[in-house]
Amino acid sequence: EDYYVFSLTDITKLKEKSNLFEYQASHDKLTGLFNRNKFDEVYSKELKRSKRYNNELSMIIFDIDDFKMVNDNYGHQIGDDVLKEFSYILSQNIRNVDTLGRWGGEEFLVVCPETLKDGAKDLAIKLNKAIKLHKFSTYPHSVTISVGVASCSVNDLNYDDIISNADKALYEAKNNGRDRVEIF
């Protein structure tokens, strides 16, 4: 007579934990957006894809104007609420092919594959308007953003150049009075 022993293990909890760790490693804890590491990974792939298929690639960088005053005058909890709502508004107004990430503090980036400078500029203007018109739930004032846009055609620029150019445009927006979109 043969005897068999079967052992069954439910790995559902292990898989859930694994998925949670993966999510935590790639997403910003506060906003739920891609963190800088994950954004870098996605951006790097998009840059390679852009070069391979000879497509344009655009980058938009956002900075919340005078965000320090939000924290200083209303506290960090309200500041966090603003960042969460801000992230949600951005995520609801970009295209499915765009990738949004939190770059740090109150800076956010969107990579726009297969997008010419004019298309990225139109998106940036749309996002600027959406933020300005939004009534924040715990912050009684409107929020404005300064926005920098940069684009490249294939083989024009490398990874750092596009971000650097978008950043230069962002500083131009700040220097020209904030609450505006500037193109590099």
Q: What does the pLDDT look like over 40-64, one tens digit per residue?
A: 999 999 988 988 888 899 999 999 9
Task: Tell me what pLDDT residue 25 has.
Answer: 86
Task: Tell me what pLDDT residue 157 has.
Answer: 61
Task: Tell me what pLDDT residue 159 has.
Answer: 65
Reply yes or no on whether 56 is catalytic.
Answer: no
Per-position pLDDT tens, the chain of length 184:
788 877 777 878 878 877 777 888 899 999 999 999 999 999 999 988 988 888 899 999 999 999 999 999 999 999 999 999 999 999 999 999 999 999 989 999 999 999 999 999 999 999 999 999 999 999 999 999 999 999 987 666 676 788 999 999 999 999 999 999 999 9
Q: How far apart are the first and last CA of the chain?
A: 81
Q: How far apart are CA 137 and CA 78, in angstroms?
A: 9
Q: How far apart are CA 125 and CA 153, in angstroms?
A: 21
- Give the number of other Cβ atoms within 10 Å of residue 92's Cβ: 9
- What residues form DSSP beta bridges with 150? 59
Q: How far apart are CA 157 and CA 69, in angstroms?
A: 36
| Residue length of the chain | 184
Task: Tell me what pLDDT residue 161 has.
Answer: 87
Task: Tell me what pLDDT residue 52 has.
Answer: 87
**Catalytic residue (choose from 106, 107, 114, 182):** 106
How would you classify residue 179: left for phi > 0, otherwise alpha for psi between -120 and 50, otherwise beta?
left
Helices 36-53 + 12-26 axis angle, to 10? 80
Q: Report pLDDT digits (tens) over 119-141.
A: 999 999 999 999 999 999 999 99
Q: How far apart are CA 181 and CA 60, in angstroms?
A: 10
- φ and ψ at residue 172, rounded to 5 degrees: -65, -40
Q: How far apart are CA 179 and CA 127, in angstroms?
A: 11
